[in-house]
Amino acid sequence: MKVNGARVLITGAGSGIGKLMALQAQRRGAEVIAWDRDATALATLDGMQTAVVDVTDREAVYAQAAATGDIDVLILNAGVISGRRFLDLPDEAIERTMDVNVLALFWCTKAFLPAMVRRDRGHIVTIASLVGATPVPGLTDYVASKHAAYGFAETLRTELADDAPGVRTTVVLPQQIATGMFAGATSPWYFPELKPDYAAKAVIDAVERDRQRLLLNRPALLTAYLVRPLPPAVSDRISRWAGAFDGMAGFNGRSIIKNGSSAPQG
């Protein structure tokens, strides 16, 4: 679907890859609707419709969607990270991660998909992650949420193939993107950090080319899927050798955990 003239709604559009995708779509002639919880961040987006929305608040999502009207492209980008090992995760942080990274996918999609199905036209993009294909110590809740995001997107794709074949989907599987979210974390050699502008352009390109799955680093994904089926003793040894299990040791990025407690973001 060409985005020129299309109404494109992006969640988590106030900063990072979300903001860059919004700018990329705008440059291609899209009418961009930007959602974020941060009103100050949204104020930096010139020439776009903006709305302060907490995507974990189901009723707020439905109300704002009704006010927005029909859209052509929905990019499910909002996401959070804790960056702590499992036993160091406050319950509230686990809940927040699942609310933003998983349940919000359902609320936002339910809000806009029925109209797309009636028109048999639209596109839904889910920003998942390559870590949904491989374990990463220090990211238990995040990895679990991205497994769920991938499953959500792929299953929705198969349902829409029967119910509304004109509504397309794309699931995006990036590795670490240099937006500051994962600051201090390191990646193994086969997971090189992605440049944000490259990733944003690739996502909008994928929409215009109706790509069902976007792999931003094919060698990395191939490695993940070659290693994962091996016996755990073997795959763990390979991952440790490559440095995949130590990458979060120096993490000082945008964690939802502040001063030992969970601070809501989104």
Q: Kind and range of the H or E element at 73? A: strand 73-76
Annotated catalytic residue 198: no
Give the ranges where 55-194 is alpha helix by DSSP (H).
58-68, 91-98, 104-119, 140-163
Contacts of 217 (CB under 8 A, 6+ apart): 130, 174, 175, 191, 192, 194
Structure tokens at 139: 């990211």
d(CA 87, CA 79): 22
The amino acid at residue 88 is D
Catalytic residue among 62, 142, 190, 225: 142
d(CA 224, CA 126): 20
The closest alpha carbon to 176, from 103, 126, 241, 248, belongs to 248
Instruction: Please list the active-site residues.
Output: 142
